[in-house]
Amino acid sequence: MKHKLTLFITLFFTAFLMQAQVLNPVTWTGEVEKLSDTEYNLIFLADIEDHWHLYSQTMPIGGDVITPIPTDFIFDSLSQVNNYKLIGKTLESPYITAYDKVFEMDLNYFDKEATFTQKIEVLNPNLKTIEVIASFQACDDERCIYQDKDVVFDLTKATIASEDPSNYVEDESKTVIKKGIDPVKTDDSKGLTSIFFTAFFLGFLVLLTPCVFPMIPMTVSYFTKQSKTRASGIKNALLYGFFIIVIYTLLGTAISALFGSNAMYEFSTGVTFNAIMFIALIVFAFSFLGAFEIMLPNSWVNKVDSGANRGGVVGIFFMALALAVVSFSCTFPIAGTALLDAATKGGIAPIVSMLGFSSAIALPFGLFAFFPSWLNSLPKSGGWLNTVKVVLGFLELAFAFKFLSMIDLVLEWHFLEREVFLAIWIAIFGTLGLYLLGKIKLPHDSPLEHISVGRLSMAILALSFTLYMVPGLWGAPLKLISGFPPPMSTNSESPYGVGFMKKQVSASGEFVAKELPKDAHFGPNDLIAFHDYETGMAYAKKVNKPVMLDFTGLTCVNCRKMEEQVWVEDEIYALLDNDIVLISLYVDDRTKLPEAEQFESELTGNKVRTYGHKWLEFQQTRYNTNAQPLYVIQNLEGEDISPSVGYTPDVEEYYNWLKKGIENFKK
């Protein structure tokens, strides 16, 4: 009796202290601007609390990388019929792009306030109000909340639009930029440095192709022999290298100017960009493998050659341009890949990319002009140059399927599942290994009398990588290539391998098969989890175990940290696996509830339409909080038997809490 009284008092004060923990960091209001008799602007105004971020409508996609839920506005299609129609996309005010330490990536978000504008045409002259759902996620440095808010627009209170529509610019990024507002500066020096050196490495690889490598000794010898003095030869060679950098950097500048600071970045997160990248890489790959060559028109080449004969500075510029044109079939696939990848970052990234790429190409011309004796140490041109080109072709072919996988993930086609993706990569890198061993011949290959040590080493590397991927077909995580294949949890035909049975330790210490109960799923770390409260509670009664409610989210970073850093500890994992029935309730699950199960929230007044809404309503109503993660231990009557806890990275503290809850159940 004493223990029960103590437990009651503890729970009472815990519940009392948890009051006012329901977080509402974003307040929404709606305003209406009248543009004409039938056209209106619906303006969503978001007031954001200090230290909180509201995320843009567009977010990067990255396989199994966790990203915030983008802000979305849900217009009821039924209420639109014969009442109004949408014109264009929902525009948004300028956002900040910066590194987010919670999600560990660059994100687009708003601080303090945000404005979203949707233009509509009213079809029903008697229409008075329009109701729209603002669906969004907001985060601070430690936690995130996911909410839906109803925003009501009263057309009878519309104001006359006072701003000139020309002050707004609509682009592919769905943003609004007002004249006179300076672009938000971002801290992306780290990213630009990475882009530069990645492009520099790719430029170095281009040097080893048959289109460029033979040009190095020829060009340097030309400048050193044709110049009257050694100093003049060095100057001309350096000028030649400088013009190479200028030509490619101008290309990057043109891309930046064409697409703007953010448009290409936003474009890159969609299906269209990934489709373009897939097709481009396939074309580039087959070109490098020898199926065909990507060539510029001969008339262009002839005009550039004629310019190179002028002599002087102008002639040197045209010689540099001639190198770019003549080597187009080798440089374009690599430069195009680097440029498209950099363009996805937006801003000056394409300029930085081409600066790095061209610097690698220009560097040897300057170095060998200073030290012409080094030319004697260069390997002779030969079949190895085509081998480098073919290897690059195989790599481009492999990377092409990453972009196809992104399309499959976004559209949820599920045709390129994890096993299919890995099978393709195994075939590609296995074929590469056989090619390097001389077992496969491709067009333009020279006769191979013996295999060099370097080629053998590359073959061993390719075949080792191939063998490393094979266990992935049977459920191995393949951490070395994490992020490239589709995620195991959502896009796998057999997440745990063909014929795989989960194993757990029995009371006798023997390994036995872990059977999956009806309606259960293998959750984090292969723990058995239920995603429905009633179903999980029914199973708990059947096996006579306490329940742990896990209020979580698909995009909850701290939830993943708990699962990957705390739950995996042996003593905690054993309790979760053997002594607890885990019920994971995802508050951002957008799966629609059956119409009959939808209801109006007594707490917020909003319509509960999805399973995520249902579990969030449960969490807010029962525990007066909407932050995740939240962990609660209940008995078989659905009563809490220990205080709830949130993010608890301290392993010992979490273990003691879990152990105490189980002990309370057994009393």
User: Which domains, ranges and CATH numbers included, belong to the chain?
Assistant: 26-167 (2.60.40), 188-378 (no CATH), 383-500 (no CATH), 502-666 (3.40.30.10)
Q: In degrees to the nearest 10, what's the CA dihedral of 397, 400, 405, 410? A: -170
Q: To which H or E segment does residue 54 belong?
A: strand 53-55
Q: What is the C-alpha separation between 105 and 94, in angstroms, rounded?
A: 19
Q: Are 159 and 31 in contact (CB under 8 A)?
A: yes
Q: Are 82 and 124 in contact (CB under 8 A)?
A: yes
Phi, psi of 554 (to 5 degrees): -65, -30
Q: Give buried/exposed letters for 78-93 (b at 16+ CB in 10 A, else e).
A: eeeeeebeeeebbbbb
Stated length of the chain:
667
In the chain, how many H helices and how many E strands? 19, 20
Left if phi > 0, otherwise alpha if psi is -120 to 50, otherwise beta: which for 404?
Answer: alpha
Q: What is the C-alpha separation between 561 and 568, in angstroms, rounded?
A: 10
638-644 long-range contacts (CB < 8 A, ≥24 apart) are 638/537, 638/547, 640/11, 641/7, 641/546, 641/665, 642/11, 643/10, 643/11, 643/14, 644/14, 644/18
Q: Are 91 and 168 in contact (CB under 8 A)?
A: yes
Rg (CA), the chain: 31
Q: What is the C-alpha separation between 338 and 202, in angstroms, rounded?
A: 8
Q: Cβ–Cβ contacts within 10 Å for residue 132, how many?
A: 22
Q: Cβ–Cβ contacts within 10 Å for residue 382, how many?
A: 12
Q: What is the C-alpha separation between 530 and 550, in angstroms, rounded?
A: 10
Say which residue the tokens 């079809």 belong to.
Answer: 123
Q: What is the C-alpha separation between 115 and 74, in angstroms, rounded?
A: 16
Phi, psi of 87 (to 5 degrees): -120, 110
Q: What is the C-alpha separation between 145 and 625, in angstroms, rounded?
A: 10
Q: What is the C-alpha separation between 606 and 139, in angstroms, rounded?
A: 21
Mean pLDDT in each 10-residue stretch from start to end of the chain (667 residues)?
42 40 84 90 93 83 62 81 87 82 74 92 90 88 79 88 47 36 40 81 80 72 66 78 84 66 48 79 85 66 56 73 70 71 66 86 78 67 76 88 79 81 94 92 83 90 94 80 67 55 50 71 85 93 94 80 85 92 88 86 77 88 85 93 90 94 90
Q: Give buried/exposed letters for 310-335 (b at 16+ CB in 10 A, else e).
A: eeeeeebbbbbbbbbbbbbbbbbbbb
Phi, psi of 589 (to 5 degrees): -70, 115
Angle at 576 between CA 570 and CA 579, to 5 degrees: 115
Q: Are 267 and 173 in contact (CB under 8 A)?
A: yes
Q: Which of 555, 499, 216 is nearest to 381 (CA)?
A: 216
Give SS3 for 60. Answer: coil
Amino acid letter, residue 313? V
Q: Are 43 and 96 in contact (CB under 8 A)?
A: no
- Residue 562 DSSP code: I
Q: Let me know if 646 is exposed, middle or buried by CB neighbors in 10 A (0-12, 13-18, 19+).
A: middle
Angle at 86 between CA 82 and CA 87, to 5 degrees: 130
Is beta strand 630-634 parallel, antiparallel or unpaired with respect to 547-552? antiparallel
308: tokens are 């190179």
pLDDT for the residue 560: 78
Q: Are 658 and 573 in contact (CB under 8 A)?
A: no
Residues 6+ apart with CB under 8 A from 370: 234
Q: Cβ–Cβ contacts within 10 Å for residue 208, how many?
A: 17
Q: In degrees to the nearest 10, what's the CA dihedral of 130, 131, 132, 133? A: 180
Q: What is the C-alpha separation between 513 and 237, in angstroms, rounded?
A: 71
Q: Let me know if 635 is exposed, middle or buried by CB neighbors in 10 A (0-12, 13-18, 19+).
A: middle
Q: Cβ–Cβ contacts within 10 Å for residue 353, how many?
A: 32
